[in-house]
Amino acid sequence: MERIRGVEFSKTLSEREKEDSTVVIETMLAQVEQMEADRRSLGRGERAEVFCHNDPALDSVCLKLFFPESEKPSHTAHGELAMLDRAYLARINVPQPIAAFNDEASGREGVFMARLAGVSLEDIIVRNVDLPARLASDPRELLGFYGQIKAQVERLHDEAGIQHRDLHAGNVMVTPTGEAYLIDFGNARRLLGDDDEPSTDMTSRGPYYYASDAEGMHNTWSKFLKSVTNQQDLVHR
C-alpha cells in the first residue's frame, strides 16, 4: 500500500483498515480549509479544533486539527497518536486512533480518529443536554457511571502507563448507552518512559495515580452531579 506523505497510521489498524482509511484521510486533508470554512466543528479547545466531513460517507471519522497560530501542544500529533495507541491497545475507552499527519509545507498537523456517538459532560453541565435514558432512569446507574470513569482513569495509569493531565468535563464523553469515554490526549504523558522518573506529584493510592488526574476527575464529577441534580429538581417541580 502506498503511504501518504507525512501520515503515520495507528498501530491499532490492520493493513486492510489502513487501506480503507487512506481514501478518507486523503479526502479530508485535501479539504482542510473547506472544513474550517464550513464550520463542521465537533468541538474547539485552546490549541485545536475537531472537525468532521460534510459527506455522510466520511462522517465516521473526525480530525483533530491543531491551530497553526497557537503554541504547539505538549507533544506533536504523532506523540498524541502514540498515547491513544497505548490507551486503545490497553482496552481503555478512548476513540479508536486512525492516523497522525504533519504537513511541513503548511505547518499544519492533526490526528484522525473514529468519531464517537454521544456528548461530553460539559454539554450536560453547561448546555443542559439531556442525560442518556439509562443514566436518567435510576440513581444507581449514575453511581455506576462514576465507577466507570474512575475505573477508566485508574486503568489508564496502571495498564496503559499514561497520565492524562487534562481531565475535565469537556474531555469525558458519555455514549447514548451510558458508557464513559476519555478524549483529548494532547497533554498526556507516559508515567514511566525510557528517561522518565516516577513523579512526586501523586496521591496516597500509589505511584501511578497522579494528583492532577484525581483532582480533575473529582471536580468533573462534582460539577456533573450538581448539574444533574438541578435538572432533576426542575423536572419534578
pLDDT tens, position by position, 19-64:
989 988 998 888 888 887 877 788 888 888 999 887 887 889 999 9
**Three-class secondary structure of residue 58 per DSSP:** helix
User: CB of 120 within 8 A of CB of 43?
Assistant: yes
Q: How far is CA 46 from the centre of its chain?
A: 14
The residue whose grid cell reads 435538572 is 231
- Domains of the chain listed by start with CATH number: 7-114 (3.30.200), 119-236 (1.10.510.10)
> If you average pLDDT over residues 91-97, what whole number do you get?
97
Beta carbons within 8 Å of 50's beta carbon, 6+ residues apart: 41, 42, 43, 44, 62, 63, 64, 65
Partners of 99 in beta bridges: 9, 112
Cα 187 to Cα 189: distance, rounded to the nearest angstrom: 7
User: CB of 219 within 8 A of CB of 153?
Assistant: no
**Three-class secondary structure of residue 120 per DSSP:** strand
**Three-class secondary structure of residue 82 per DSSP:** helix
Higher pLDDT, 104 or 113: 113
Q: What is the pTM of this model?
A: 0.85
Partners of 112 in beta bridges: 63, 99
Which range has the worst mean pLDDT, 32-46, 81-95, 110-124? 32-46
> If you average pLDDT over residues 114-138, what whole number do you get?
92
Q: What is the pLDDT of residue 196?
A: 46
> If you average pLDDT over residues 135-141, what whole number do you get?
89
pLDDT at 170 over 80: yes
Burial of 168 (0-12, 13-18, 19+ CB in 10 A): middle
Query: Which helix (H) or strand (E) is 234 found in, with range?
Result: helix 211-236
